[in-house]
Structure 1
Amino acid sequence: MTLDFKMWYTLSLLIIMSILLIFDIIELEVLFFSILLLLLMGKIITLEEAFAGFSNVGMLTIALLFVIAGALSNTGMLKQISPIILGKENTRISHTLLRLLFPVSIISAFINNTPVVAMFIPTIRAWTEKHHYAPSKYLIPLSYGAILGGMCTLIGTSTNLIIHGLMIDYGMEGLGFFEISKIGIPVTILGILFMSFLGHRLLPNRKEPLIELGEHTREFVIELKVTQEYENIGKTIENAGLRRLKGLFLFQIERNGRRIAPAKPDEKILLDDRLFFTGIPKTILELQKIPGLQLTKDSHFNLKQYDSAEIRTFECVVSRGSPLVGKTVRDSDFRSKYEAVIIAIHRHGERIAKKIGDIGLRPGDTLLLLAGKNFYKRWYHSKDFYLIAVAETLPSKPQWRGYVSLGVFFMMIILTVANILPLLSAAGLGVIILVLTRTANAGEARRTIDWRVLIIIAMSLGIANAVKQSGLADVLAHIIVRIGDHFGVLGVLASIYFFTSIYTLVITNNAAAAMLFPIAVSAASAINVDQRGFAIAIMIAASASFATPISYQTNLMVYSPGGYRFRDYLMIGAPLQLGIGAIAIALIYCFYF
């Protein structure tokens, strides 16, 4: 089969694009947009075909699922699961990985794996630091477990939805919600067993040095009261897990008017104790959310269930001419005047060992506040403060909104599985409910959508159209058929799978799936077999990408937190990718051919 100008032109652009991707010379979205423009200029595709991906069913569904997953994360529903999964006792790595990876894969089967991994990274790092383990033994398995789980249902990963949308575009019946489970579940179980009992031995043992508070750290002081709801009453500081908190230090306990300083590890925590911590803003915010540790009773805010969309965190520096100077926090009537709560106070070079209410304010003191979102505009020009800055705010919502987000999630699954509504409509209905109940406001909905991912997906679909319209898909399919034809359908299926698997190592999984889908369809047509099995082979091959950090977004997410190097992924990922490929091909062949 000879290649005409359109085929050569398209093939040349694909080769150039692949080389630039391998050497990471140009940003992905810039590269894809440039290739699309060159394809338009070469009249390979029309303007409509180039940007048809922006209306693809799969891509629109992904955007809505970002909002639903974001609501589950922001309301704290995902975070509540983490301590239950990891546990509190020191166990063998194999047991911990089994305990971690099976739940992660189940969650990832129903929630996009990106927010799942994002939620577990800080939890695993904190847990490994507490038990003196190396996070490098757990974070790559976390990413791989999420990827494997995503292959078990239609909504588990964006790649599945892209293929689902392409199948509909090509006149095929879309995927059922659990259609790929018969392949995904066995593959996931075997992958988790490999990582738990063998794979972790191939990973490095790199421990991250703890962040110690010292003279160069900007320390805030926070005071918390122990109430009956605190589960560690009667335990020592060490056993309660308060001795080695990253970025926090318990330096004093006040009991019945008596100060215990320094607070030793074997000191027991009793009811009504006042615990004095020094730490950085982020860890202080996390600390005050612990049940049973009470910051203050306040008429403006419920500090355990405040809505971070309405209440923000600010840092304010007290000015020399401020009416606050010389007054204690209690006497200043701060909450009534400024409609804000002082969470913690930083005074450079001094660790303040007083109750927050008894601290006399001085010029230059930095206050960490919780206040309404209009606080900045209202007080920015005030002479009471030198500086007002928006501090890091942890996502927080009232508990009932967490239940709403969970209800919406299950409603979407039930409506889809029962064939009452298509997935796109069910997800759209869920987003409307989240916005109407203010579980996710419009601003939060926009922020939770990863627009970069969506744009890359849409443009890769445009490039895939060019591969099809130029006739290049048929030529490449013909070559693949000839390579695998000696082994019949199984040989062609294996060729398609591993061609996709290799290409996914240098390009994002969604882009690889979109570009190779028309080739797979042409190959199936050439040997006169069901196109569905080949479409699913593309889907699994594009998702099961473990051998490089750039091949899957979650692999890249754990790269820095785990202190990994490129070769670490090859050591564990290459054998896993080959093994998963062999099993997946065998299962697809059995079920579809």
Structure 2
Amino acid sequence: MTFEIFFTLLVLTGMIAALVMDKMRPGMILFSVVILFMLVGILSPKEVLEGFSNKGMITVALLFLISEGIRQTGAISQLIKKLLPDKKTTIFKSQLRMLPCIAAISAFLNNTPVVVIFAPIIKHWAAKQNLPATKFLIPLSYATILGGVCTLIGTSTNLVVHGMILETGRQGFSMFELGKVGIFIALAGIIYIFCFSNKLLPNRRKDPVSEDSEEENHHELHRIEAVIGPRFPGINKSLKTFDFMRHYGAEVKEIKRNGESFTQDLENIPFRDGDTLVLIADDDFIPTWGESSVFLMLANGKDIDIHQKGNKKRRWFAMLLLIFMITGATVGELPRVKEMFPNLKLDMFFFVSITTVIMAWAKLFPPKKYTKYISWDILITIACAFAISKAMENSGFADMIASYIIGLADNLGPHMLLALLFIITNLFTEIITNNAAAALAFPIALSLSTQLGVSPTPFFVVICIAASASFSTPIGYQTNLIVQGIGNYKFTDFIRFGLPLNIITFLLSVILIPLFWKF
């Protein structure tokens, strides 16, 4: 084992440990790793910076703004309200109306804003219908994940892998190429949710902080649930060192994290990104902080929508722009269109850029505040993921791991290696971020295909599916964290209900991918 390989192994082990222990934001952890690789000469400064100019990374940034434009017009919140039945209904019938539509929406929009908008609306609707919200919130998160695997823009992971493929000089994915297998996985997953959510998901769980607390009745204050976002200034601080009341005019009554509920000794519990806080606040809290990136989601149990500022014309205009972007990116990949416009690259980046600029000038999102709607940590994570992937190639670490995997599989062939790659990637995505998991798996996939002398495309596709299929833990995907707090789920709820979905996704991927993309 050379020094470069040993150093890469040591640094990547430390990176995974730091991500699992949540020592700091993922972007800073990955950036630190990249700098270490540069210090020992495994990466050149040029290779460190290449990820920050990658087309896939910039496309993800622009898609944040497009999702915000759609969100601020109130288009998708109006849609979910129309889907929710007004009359008395059952869990199955309600899911049948909601989940396919939610999956379709998340195929073209960022998953997080979809869940942020839908979760409080669905929870309030379930309470009015006297149905347990616990039967709908995990299915909401899973439906957005399942929809995301169907298109190139459905999740940032697909765009990251697409960008890495382009870096190797190969042709990336077209708009709906991943849908060849993704749609079968989405259909199977939604059918599984229909059949087993009522049996495997818990019934109502009483919250330690009652919704009819004495403070609310006497002081006309309200119970509000707030999910902490990455820009919350009190992350890693406790109430003892961060005066929440002075900053936000609200009292923290409970902190929910990873299935645990903290109501005692709150002064000494540090805040974490993704925590759900139960607050006692007045009517001004949601209007004041609803548009802030400090909190990912705010809900007070009332049927209000702070995002519904736009009129019908603005909503229709936003949806037409979204259709223009999707159609343009799809048609632009056709061979005839490429021949007609040889000097133009009519790809996803081209149409996403145009759509973003039109939305900004039409003020579908506030153009003077556009930076606040971009999740910079995700972008830094993605940019660094490209560099880490390159470091694994440069050091020879990826080739060593690929040789080891081939040795384990012996003479079982590429199908077994495809299965092993899925398992490795999926385990990584359950304990660290999905983009970091894709970064670790991509160079291994490339080395596997090279050493076997087969096409790398099936291995690239399996990375996209496995890195997104985070169903067994709440920590693997941000939407799972959001619904965990608002639904009072335990960690074991995700394992019990999500693990079979992981297995279904694994089996369908290993069977279907080689049928559509030959080795």
Aligned counterparts of 2:321 and 2:33: Cα–Cα separation in 1: 39
- Based on CA coordinates, which of the two structures has the bigger radius of gyration? 1
User: Could you tell me which of 302, 309, 328 is aligned with 1:396?
Assistant: 309
Paired residue secondary structure (1:556): helix
CA contact (8 A) 2:318 2:364 kept: yes
Q: Distance in 1 between matches of 2:99 and 2:13?
A: 37
Give 1:538 deviation, angstroms: 0.6
Q: By how many angstroms is 1:406 displaced?
A: 1.3
C-alpha distance in 2, partners of 1:46/1:163?
A: 22
d(CA) in 2 for partners of 1:194, 1:40: 46
- 1:585 and 2:510 equivalent? yes
Please, what is the CA RMSD of the aligned residues? 2.2
Residues 234-273 of structure 1: pairs in structure 2 closer than 5 A: none
For the residues of structure 2 that align with 1:413 and 1:65, how far apart are their CA atoms?
12
Listed as ranges, the matches of 1:301-320 within 5 Å are none
Q: Secondary structure at the match of 2:489?
A: coil
Query: Which residue pairs with 1:175 in the alignment?
Result: 173
Contact persistence 2:26–2:433 (CA under 8 A): no
Stretches of structure 2 lacking an aligned partner (at least 5 in a row): 223-280, 293-304, 338-345
| 1:519 aligned residue (439, 444, 453) | 444
Structure 1 residues 284 and 116 mapped into 2: Cα distance closer, same or farther (>3 Å)? closer
Tell me the distance in 1 between the aligned counterparts of 2:514 and 2:307: 48
For 1:59-78, what aligned pairs fall within 5 Å after superposition?
A: 59-78=57-76
1:159 has 2:157 as partner: yes
User: Partners in 2 of 1:527 and 1:164 — Cα distance?
Assistant: 22
Q: Give the stretch that moved more between structures: 530-539 or 439-448.
A: 439-448
- SS for the counterpart of 1:487 is coil
Return the structure number with greater relative CO, CA threshold 8 A, min gap 6.
Answer: 2
How far apart, CA to CA, are the structure 2 residues paired with 1:418 and 1:394? Answer: 32
SS of 2:219's equivalent? coil
Match of 1:37 in 2: 35
Matched AA of 2:61: A
TM-score by length of 1: 0.69
1:394 shift after superposition: 4.5
The answer to whether the Cα contact below 8 Å between 2:434 and 2:467 also exists between their aligned partners in 1 is: yes
- Deviation, 1:119, is 1.2
C-alpha offsets along residues 116-169 of structure 1, whole Å, 9 cap, x if unaligned?
Answer: 111111111111111222222211111111000001111111111111111111
How far is the alpha carbon of 1:98 from its aligned partner? 2.2
Contact 2:71 2:307 in 1 (8 A): no
Q: Where does 1:103-182 land on structure 2 (aligned, <5 Å)? A: 103-182=101-180
Residue 318 of structure 2: aligned partner: 405
Report the alpha carbon displacement of residue 211 of structure 1 after superposing the two structures with TM.
3.1
Q: Specify the alignment match of 1:18 in structure 2.
A: 16
For residues 196 and 411 of structure 2, what CA distance do their matches in structure 1 show?
Answer: 35
Q: Secondary structure at the match of 1:65?
A: helix
Structure 2 match to 1:385: none
Counterparts of 1:284 and 1:504, CA distance in 2: 33
2:454 is the counterpart of 1:537: no
Task: Judge conservation of contact 1:29–1:455 (CA < 8 Å) in 2.
Answer: yes
Alignment CA distance shift 1:156-1:284 (3 Å): closer
SS in 2 for 1:198: helix
Q: Which amino acid aligns with 2:512?
A: L
Per-residue CA distance 1:77-124 (angstroms, 9 max, x = gap): 111101122211232222222222111001111112121111111111
Match of 1:214 in 2: 217
- Is 1:488 the equivalent of 2:413? yes
Structure 2 equivalent of residue 389 of structure 1 = none
Q: Structure 2 CA distance, aligned partners of 1:208 and 1:150?
A: 32
**Cα distance change, pair 206–461 in 1 and its aligned pair in 2 (3 A):** farther
Deviation track 1:37-67 (CA, whole Å, cap 9, x = no partner) reads: 2212222111221232111111110111111
The one-letter code matched in structure 2 to 1:122 is P
Match of 2:387 in 1: 462
* Contact 2:146–2:185 (Cα < 8 Å) also in 1: yes
Whether the 8 Å contact between 1:109 and 1:153 is mirrored in structure 2 is yes
Residue in 2 that maps onto 1:564: 489
Q: Structure 1: how far apart are the matches of 2:398 and 2:68?
A: 37
State the identity as a percent. 36
Answer whether contact 2:25 2:377 (CA < 8 A) is retained.
Answer: no
Q: Secondary structure at the match of 2:65?
A: helix
Residues 458 and 184 of structure 1: is their aligned pair in 2 closer, same or farther, counting only changes over 3 Å? same
Q: Distance in 1 between matches of 2:326 and 2:385?
A: 28
2:90 aligned residue (89, 92, 99):
92
Q: Retained in 1: the 8 A contact 2:200–2:496?
A: yes
Look up the SS of the partner of 2:217 in the other structure: coil
Q: CA deviation at 1:562?
A: 1.0
Task: State the distance in 2 between where 1:183 and 1:411 align.
Answer: 25
Q: Tell me, in whole angstroms, the C-alpha distance in 2 between the residues paired with 1:48 and 1:135.
A: 50
Counterpart of 2:283, as a letter, is P
Residues 52, 285 of structure 1: CA spacing in aligned structure 2 closer, same or farther, 3 A cutoff? closer
Aligned partner letter, 1:118: V
Q: Does 1:205 align with 2:165?
A: no
Change (3 A) 1:81 1:534: same
| CA displacement at 1:442 relative to structure 2 | 1.6
Alignment-mate amino acid for residue 86 of structure 2: K
Q: Is the 8 A contact 2:409 2:416 kept in 1?
A: yes
Cα distance in 2 for partners of 1:495, 1:31 equals 27
Cα deviation code 1:286-328 (max 9, x no counterpart): 9xxxxxxxxxxxxxxxxxxxxx99xxxxxxxxxxxxxxxxxxx
Q: Tell me the amino acid that sits aligned with residue 217 of structure 1.
A: E
Separation in 1, partners of 2:62, 2:353: 6
Determine the C-alpha separation between the residues in 2 that align with 1:454 and 1:400. Answer: 32
What amino acid does structure 2 have at the position aligned with 1:548? T
Amino acid at match of 2:182: G
> Per-residue CA shift, 1:201-251, capped at 9, x if unaligned?
2222234567345113248xxxxxxxxxxxxxxxxxxxxxxxxxxxxxxxx
Residues 75 and 401 in structure 1, CA contact (< 8 A), matched pair in contact too: yes
Which residue is equivalent to 2:271?
none
- Taking structure 2 as the reference length, what is the TM-score of the superposition? 0.79
Tell me the CA shift for residue 509 of structure 1: 0.6
Q: Distance in 1 between matches of 2:498 and 2:363?
A: 42
Cα distance in 2 between the residues matched to 1:118 and 1:455: 22
Q: Kindly provide the amino acid, as one letter, of the partner of residue 110 in structure 1.
A: F
8 Å CA contact 1:285, 1:394 repeated in 2? no
What code does the residue aligned with 1:405 have?
A: A
Equivalent residue, structure 2, for 1:334: none
Range with bigger deviation, 92-101 or 496-505: 92-101
Aligned positions of 1:306-455 closer than 5 A: 394=307, 396-419=309-332, 421-455=346-380
Q: CA deviation at 1:282?
A: 6.4
Q: Distance in 2 between matches of 1:218 and 1:69?
A: 32
The answer to whether the 8 Å contact 1:476/1:519 transfers is yes
Task: Give me the whole-angstrom Cα distance separating, in 1, the residues matched to 2:113 and 2:355.
Answer: 18
Larger helix proportion of the pair: 2
Listed as ranges, the gaps of 5+ residues in structure 1 are 220-278, 287-307, 310-391
